[in-house]
Amino acid sequence: MEHFSPPLSDVEENRHLGRLVFLEICAFVVENFHQVQAVSFAFSRSRTLLSRGAQDAAQRAEIMHRIGIEDVQIAPLASAIPGHFVVTGVWLYTEKNLLALNEVLGELRALYHDRPIGSDPKGATGVVGRLIAKWKGS
């Protein structure tokens, strides 16, 4: 999921599409490739603001812990951009971890149940208003 860019609507809200995608990928792998017994993850995203990068890394680590990923580590990357962190860990295929993955995945799916990705909480007028404002600004 390197260079994953959520749609503008996800940036403006607090539903965390990237987390849902991460968990969906993990669930897909463990459900369809039974020979896989461990999945190793390394997530990083460069940020221009140190506080936001640290916050993103902490949130990634928290979700990784919740689904049973072991040896979760957060480390700064030696880059020219401050606030660039990598979060790593290994998810082992166990019944306990599978239950945890499905529980957290269910919670995140529920956030999108009533309002699917790409829909606007303000309805069509919110979308049209933003498009007109963007058009007038260009």
Write phi, then psi, for 58 (nearest 5 degrees). Answer: -65, -40
pLDDT at site 123: 56
Which residue ranges make up each domain of the chain? 8-137
pTM score, whole prediction? 0.68
- The CA distance from 113 to 72, in Å, is 30
pLDDT along the chain (138 residues), means of 10: 46 65 89 87 62 77 92 80 81 93 92 71 59 68
pLDDT at site 128: 60
